[in-house]
Chains A and B, each alone.
Chain A
Amino acid sequence: MTALYVVVGLLVLVGVGGIVSYNRFMAQRAGVESSWAGVDVQLQRRHDLIPNLVETVRGYAAHEREVLDRVTATRAAAVIADRDPGTGPGEQARREDALTSATRGLLAVAEGYPDLQAATGFRQLQAQLVETEDRIAAARRLYNIEVRGLNRRVEAVPSNIVAGLAGIRRAEYFELAESAHGSRQAGSSHL
């Protein structure tokens, strides 16, 4: 009889532990999703900003068509990826990197036009771009911290058993190579 109580007690303990672990996974997954939404908002903010930047530069340097077209095309690719729910953070990051590279090319070209550099509208757009890059970097770090917490539990014993039973998989990190205003996106070295 005592052995039965012990077995039942152990089963109850395992059951409660499993429920607690599962609920924590759900909370972590919600955290990953909400922090990804934060990244998404900032990416959209950048996508909205770039057409204004392109038009402002075109006003002073219309003949730099190749650079302008490249920014427009990479932005379109990034927007399409962003709107497609099937696109993962890895693919999104690759497209954002392409857009970043094109935007940096545009800003480099703009340096050769003093009138453009002096234009208030262009300076404001540049400041907004810097601020947006800061926000993207912050949102990306928050997202990656959430992902790291989830992934660690997916791999660790005994929570990996619950993850396996519930079909919870590792989430993908969102890593960007560089920001449009030239600084490396900080914060990934510890991941």
Chain B
Amino acid sequence: MPSLFSVAPVLPVLFALLVGVVVVGGFVLAQRQRERVETTYQQVCRDQGLVPTDVPLGTSDAWLAQFELLPRGDRDHSAVWGMEGPVELQIGGAAVPATCAAFEWWWEDEHTSRTSRGGQRTTWRRRSVLVALVRLPAPYVMPRVRVESEGVFARLGVGGRGDFQVESEEFNRRYDVRVNDRPATIRLFDPEFQSQLLGRFEGTTFELAGDLALVAIPTPSGGLAMTNARRGGSGGWTQVFTRSGDRLRTDPAIVQALPGVRHRAVALLQAMPDGWWRGLAHDASTQERS
């Protein structure tokens, strides 16, 4: 029977081995996940005839963050898995060539709470939306319009001041619309387009500004995923591992969903009334003449 003295040195070695296996295993799994997503990304781009890009339509992360539908978060934000290519829009009774990009926009929100030992615990949550960004050619220059789902209080009739109102009560309850040019925007929200936003495009959030149209759709997981936690003992702050801009956190299903978001953006633009497009083209030609 071996004595305790001969067993004792083996335990730390076994423990170290176990830790090593876990670390290496984790690294290998992460690497495989990375490869899986990367492969899916390349394949989706190839199948759809799209060009992979880190800068959708040549826009930087800072520039994209000017869209109010794309939150900056408390720590970091970025566009990932960008893919772009030409599209032909049937708008105002004519075929209009445009460019459309799709990507995942993620950001990290900070949440702070107290621990049982009196310390502070901070967690960052990675949230994301799937985005399609369409650049229209001249002469289509749009006023600023932001459309998103109405908040709970506004639905109950509390607050919601400054919300652009249309004829449909149901539309007003469901959507919060912010605009900078009311006469121009009323042409967009004709009764037909209002009913489309309540039916076929229900829950779609979009933002128009200049020659760009942005459509944002929450990620399939609801746009929420815990990325990392910080533990604090006695009020201290301890950073736990997380690399900002980690592409690994994306599921391959999100990458596969991006072409669908592109199609949705195109369909939404094509559903906009002819009068809206006519007005934009006319305003541009009037400005040109003056």
Pairing of A with B? yes
A interface residues, Cβ below 8 angstroms from B: 38, 130-131, 134-135, 137-139, 141-142, 144-145, 148-149, 186-191
Would you list 27 pairs from A and B whose C-beta atoms are within 8 A, ordered by A residue? A130-B278, A131-B278, A131-B279, A134-B187, A135-B183, A137-B275, A138-B183, A138-B184, A138-B186, A141-B186, A142-B182, A142-B183, A142-B186, A144-B167, A145-B165, A145-B167, A145-B186, A186-B190, A186-B191, A186-B192, A187-B167, A187-B190, A187-B191, A190-B167, A190-B169, A190-B191, A191-B167
Q: Are A149 and B282 in contact, CB atoms less than 8 angstroms apart?
A: no
CB-defined contacts of A138 to chain B, threshold 8 Å: 183-184, 186-187, 275, 279
Beta-carbon nearest neighbor of B283 in chain A: A131
CB-defined contacts of A148 to chain B, threshold 8 Å: 167
Binding site secondary structure of chain A:
helix
CB-defined contacts of A187 to chain B, threshold 8 Å: 167, 190-191
Beta-carbon nearest neighbor of A34 in chain B: B182
1/0 contact string of B128-170 vs chain A (CB within 8 Å): 0000000000000000000000000000000000000111110
CB-defined contacts of B191 to chain A, threshold 8 Å: 186-187, 189-190
CB-defined contacts of A139 to chain B, threshold 8 Å: 183
Question: Quick one: which of A131, A144, A145 contacts B282, CB cutoff 8 A?
Answer: A131
A190 to B191, CA, bound (A): 9
Binding site secondary structure of chain B:
helix
Q: Which of B179-212 contact A (CB under 8 A)?
A: 182-184, 186-187, 190-192
A142 to B166, CA, bound (A): 8
CB-defined contacts of B182 to chain A, threshold 8 Å: 142
Question: Quick one: which of A135, A142, A191 contacts B279, CB cutoff 8 A?
Answer: A135
CB-defined contacts of A131 to chain B, threshold 8 Å: 278-279, 282
Q: How far is the CB of B174 from chain A (nearest CB, A)?
A: 14
Q: Which of B192-250 contact A (CB under 8 A)?
A: 192
A38 to B183, CA, bound (A): 8
Beta-carbon nearest neighbor of B167 in chain A: A190
Q: How far is the CB of A4 from chain B (nearest CB, A)?
A: 32
Beta-carbon nearest neighbor of A132 in chain B: B282
CB-defined contacts of B282 to chain A, threshold 8 Å: 131
Q: How far is the CB of A163 from chain B (nearest CB, A)?
A: 19
Q: Are A134 and B165 in contact, CB atoms less than 8 angstroms apart?
A: no
A130 to B92, CA, bound (A): 13
A66 to B245, CA, bound (A): 74
